[in-house]
Amino acid sequence: MRGFVAHEISHLLQPASWDDKWKDDRAMISEGGAEFLRWRTSAALGWRDHEALKGELEKAVNGCVVAANRKSWRQVADRQWGSTPYACGMAFHALGLASRANDKPATLMLRDYYGMAQRSGKGDFAQALECGTAVGCQPRWLSRVTGDEPLANVMAAYARTPAAVFKPAEKWGAATTALVAHALVAQLMRADCGGAVSMYNEPDVARIAGGPSCKALRPGMGVVGAEGRALFSEQAAAQAVINACSANHKATLRLEDGGNVDIACDAATVSLPTELYTVDIDTALKRL
């Protein structure tokens, strides 16, 4: 509840309306800014411990990478609705502010951006977060986000810089494992249900919801495993699903009642980014 209230109050700090150079990314800027301030407030007031803060930032960064998969940000179909503007907005705020050209506190960089937009009715999200008023500064990372290259490439390049707040992960955290589990079930549902996805993302279950007409999936089914593995706790389960779709053209999902259901799929149906990330929480809290 504290985080919810902090997020909503953060919207009151934003201008009522402004014309940003990022044009139709208003949802990402608005929701991402509120998510960043919620996260920073939770850290400053001790509402969440370091492990929880790490998980939240990892969920945003990896959620954004998974949403984009191999596409550029401009090619992401749902970048203006659903969870994508929240996750990517949080990730882009972290990316830009962590890379800022000065040592001004990140929250004050955001305050200045909102103030400028309020006074002038105009803004430049990338310039404001990475450069502020620094003379001759050009944004390095957020300018690439708006380009044509896959978003995964931008994130991978940043993650390999010495002071990056997130780095390539060999072992996923719990938040990332659950995120991937939900993403894979959504991809399989899309294949089984004529392109539609309707499900509830419970902590340890992907709950199939009503709406679409599906071949195998039914409302109320709770998916907890896949290919003989625990989907929400075993990192290897994700690759097992991808391998099964590629080799056998089907994946076997385990339901919470102990039953199984087979979903027809192939290599084009189910995929993940080649790389996901872990957050260096000490660096993140210091820089952000």
Count of residues in the chain:
288
Phi-psi group of 182: left, alpha or beta (phi > 0 → left; psi -120 to 50 → alpha; rest → beta): alpha
Separation between Cα atoms, residue 244 and residue 213, nearest integer Å: 24
Q: Tell me the CATH architecture of domain 174-264.
A: Roll (2.30)
Q: Which two tokens stand for residue 163?
A: 């002071």
Nearest to 87 by CA among 121, 107, 59, 106: 59
CB 145 within 8 A of CB 139: no
The domain ranges of the chain are: 1-168, 174-264
Q: Which two tokens stand for residue 67?
A: 């949403």
Q: Is 27 exposed, middle or buried (0-12, 13-18, 19+ CB in 10 A)?
A: middle
Distance of CA 142 to the CA centre of its chain: 16
Give pLDDT tens digits along the chain (288 positions): 999 999 999 999 999 888 999 888 999 999 999 999 999 999 999 999 999 999 999 999 999 999 998 899 999 988 988 899 999 999 999 999 999 999 999 999 999 999 999 999 999 999 999 999 899 999 999 999 999 999 999 999 999 999 999 999 999 999 899 999 999 999 999 999 999 999 999 999 999 999 999 999 999 999 999 999 999 999 999 999 999 999 999 999 999 999 999 999 998 889 988 899 999 999 999 999
Start-end of H helices in the chain:
2-13, 26-44, 50-68, 84-98, 106-120, 125-130, 142-145, 151-159, 174-192, 236-248, 281-287
H-run or E-run covering 251: strand 250-255
Give bridge partners of residue 262 from the DSSP assignment: 252
Start-end of H helices in 131-173:
142-145, 151-159
pTM (two decimals): 0.91
pLDDT, one tens digit per residue, over 17-71 is: 889 998 889 999 999 999 999 999 999 999 999 999 999 999 999 999 999 988 9
Separation between Cα atoms, residue 38 and residue 7, nearest integer Å: 5
Q: Is 198 exposed, middle or buried (0-12, 13-18, 19+ CB in 10 A)?
A: middle
pLDDT, one tens digit per residue, over 1-20 is: 999 999 999 999 999 888 99
Output phi, psi for 44, to 5 deg.
-65, -35
